[in-house]
Structure 1
Amino acid sequence: MPTWLILAEETVIAEGSASRRQVKVVRTLKGNKTREEALVELHKEAKNYTSDSLKRPSTVVGRDSDGSFWVLPKNDSGHASCNLRLIEQIRR
């Protein structure tokens, strides 16, 4: 029975060219979910997710070819991006 994690990887470009990257677990999906069922949950989370650095500007959400989602500022109105992805947790 896999445990799936929805991660948010946020990158913020500060003054100049320096950037800060932060990764956090947004949600843990436990239970007997297949990868396809977990991807449905990722899609729901992506539609409603607002990262800390993207609270003010309006955003657009898009799906990448690998199944992850990008939350980006709309109309070039910010210097941050957030990638939401699904990973399977491996226990040791």
Structure 2
Amino acid sequence: MITRSVTSEEIDDLDLMWNDHSNASAFYRGALRKEMGVRGVDSDDLRDRLERAREQGYTLEEITEGTNRFDDPQSLIDEQQNQSPAGDATDD
């Protein structure tokens, strides 16, 4: 997991101090999911694409460097599936 810094207003800090049981990380993730929805990104679908790309050997850094929008991870997956590594075919 990557830790990011977030700027909050004093009223946010005050509310979190009053309600120290609140999970600020969940609020942040919820806000990100809402923004994804505004952009037409289904978070479950994105999670699936990320997992599939990682199963094919891509690191998060490679995915980040090779993509910049929601459809790009699927392109990486499709590209990898269309490539047949040399030496995999056997004539046994």
TM-score by length of 1: 0.28
Of Structure 1 and Structure 2, which has the larger fraction of its residues in helix?
A: 2
For the pair shown, the structure with the greater C-alpha radius of gyration is 2
Higher RCO (CA-CA < 8 Å; seq separation 6+): 1
Higher strand share: 1
TM-score (norm 2): 0.28
